[in-house]
């Protein structure tokens, strides 16, 4: 009996390509996940597998490998470890789908051209997503490529959550609040439906906290509002991104400091957030271990902004039934969760600090009106599920 074909997922960033492989029949069977980090500098391949021996077949990489070389390395690894399994499809995370792209789509030249037009809206992400798609098309000729859009989940926003207070022509031209991390929110929504279908239909806030961080208010599993806006800069402070910022600051930096677009972009995307505040690191683990007052203040600011956003999103929902913490920080940073959620009984959130220390699935006290859960997100599996659905739709 032939082994099932493989569904491969790719998440191409500026200096890394994350991937996962699943055996695809009527369901998904996880085979491996890994990444190639340090592209252009010190590229290195790492992988975890269902069959531990397969992790020993990592290909050698030129230290200055680019996205094409990274995808070729993934292809080599698949050929060495999964030679009896053809690749049925490659599913790609694409950060920006604009207004029109609301469902996963097969990639063709017309779609690539459409996605190129959105590069100015996500300059640090979209070009690398597209580079990953092009590299995969070259490495897997004739294999279906599926694009999945991080903005698609938020296209259910009402107008008031989608617009800025600018002349209406700008909204009509596409200057609006798009929201991001949609694949993560979609996965958490499905996971919550499995755990508690009644709760999943209620008023839920999901906090995706990682190097990129945002929160989403959901009603019956649909996005009502998000902290991220026109770009992935808005809302919460992040590892290196500023989060919410008075636009007057930008005018001041341009007029008084003589900073141009490039300098401001570098500041806001690469040298702000936790890195800028602490002067030390973008990594919460490093900051928690630091004795620096600036590190403590950076984490305090992160927690304070989180509390503000939870309150704001709850107002969009008319209350809150559940709060889900996810992402690298949300799932693992015990002290950050505690700082963000302590003394929130006024809105019905009461934390069981022992459960929080253990990172239990449920970390609220029995008397808490709001359920507080810690759930692991899995964007790669979401990509694979979309690819499987596309293939099944095509077959029928």
- Cα distances from 200 to residues 195, 213, 319, in angstroms, run 8, 22, 14
The alpha helices in the chain, defined as continuous H runs, are: 67-81, 109-116, 126-139, 159-162, 168-172, 182-195, 197-200, 247-255, 261-270, 273-278, 284-289, 293-317, 327-332, 334-341, 353-358, 379-395
Q: Six-digit token pair at 107?
A: 């990639």
DSSP reduced 3-state for 234 = coil
Phi/psi of residue 7, each to 5°? -105, 120
314 in Cβ contact with 320 (< 8 Å): yes
Cα separation, 382 vs 388, in Å, equals 10
Give the number of other CB atoms < 10 A from CB of residue 255: 9
* HEC-encoded secondary structure of 143-181: CCEEEEECCHHHCCCCHHHHCCCCCHHHHHCCCCCCCCC
Cα separation, 338 vs 162, in Å, equals 31
Give the strand pairing for 44-49 and 203-209: unpaired
The residues near 388 (Cβ < 8 Å, ≥ 6 apart) are 7, 24, 28
- Residues marked active site are found at 150
Q: Six-digit token pair at 132?
A: 């990953």
The DSSP call for residue 58 is P
Q: Six-digit token pair at 176?
A: 């609006």
DSSP output for 297-359: HHHHHHHHHHHHHHHHHHHHHTS-SEEEEEHHHHHH-HHHHHHHHTT-GGGT--B-HHHHHHT
């Amino acid at each position: 009996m032939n082994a099932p074909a493989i569904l491969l997922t790719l998440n191409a960033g500026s200096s890394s390509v994350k991937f996962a492989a699943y055996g695809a029949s009527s369901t998904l069977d996880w085979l491996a996940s890994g990444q190639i980090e340090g592209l252009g500098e010190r590229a290195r391949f790492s992988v975890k597998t269902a069959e531990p021996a397969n992790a020993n077949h990592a290909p050698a990489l030129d230290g200055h490998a680019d996205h094409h070389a990274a995808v070729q390395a993934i292809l080599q690894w698949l050929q060495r470890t999964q030679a009896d399994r053809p690749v049925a499809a490659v599913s790609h995370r694409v950060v920006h789908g604009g207004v029109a792209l609301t469902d996963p789509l097969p990639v063709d030249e017309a779609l690539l051209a459409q996605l190129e037009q959105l590069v100015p809206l996500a300059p640090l992400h979209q070009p690398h997503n597209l580079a990953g798609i092009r590299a995969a098309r070259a490495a897997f000729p004739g294999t279906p490529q599926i694009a999945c859009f991080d903005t698609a989940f938020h296209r259910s926003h009402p107008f008031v959550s989608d617009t800025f207070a600018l002349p209406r022509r700008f909204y009509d031209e596409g200057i609006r609040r798009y929201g991001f991390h949609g694949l993560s929110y979609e996965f958490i929504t499905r996971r919550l439906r499995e755990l508690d279908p009644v709760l999943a239909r209620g008023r839920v806030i999901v906090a995706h906290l990682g190097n990129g961080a945002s929160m989403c208010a959901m009603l019956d599993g649909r996005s009502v509002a998000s902290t991220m806006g026109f770009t992935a800069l808005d809302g919460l402070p992040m590892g290196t991104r500023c989060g919410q910022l008075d636009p007057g600051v930008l005018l001041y930096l341009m007029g008084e400091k003589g900073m141009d677009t490039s300098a401001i972009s570098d500041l806001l995307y690469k040298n702000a957030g936790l890195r800028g505040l602490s002067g030390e690191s973008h990594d919460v683990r490093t900051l928690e271990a630091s004795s620096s007052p600036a590190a403590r203040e950076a984490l305090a600011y992160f927690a304070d902004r989180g509390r503000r956003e939870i309150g704001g999103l709850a107002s969009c929902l008319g209350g809150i039934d559940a709060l889900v913490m996810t992402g690298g920080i949300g799932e693992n940073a015990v002290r950050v969760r505690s700082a963000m959620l302590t003394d929130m009984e006024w809105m019905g959130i009461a934390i069981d600090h022992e459960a929080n220390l253990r990172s239990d699935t449920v970390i609220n006290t029995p008397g808490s009106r709001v359920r507080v859960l810690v759930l692991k997100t899995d964007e790669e599996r979401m990509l694979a599920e979309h690819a499987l659905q596309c293939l099944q739709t095509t077959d029928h």
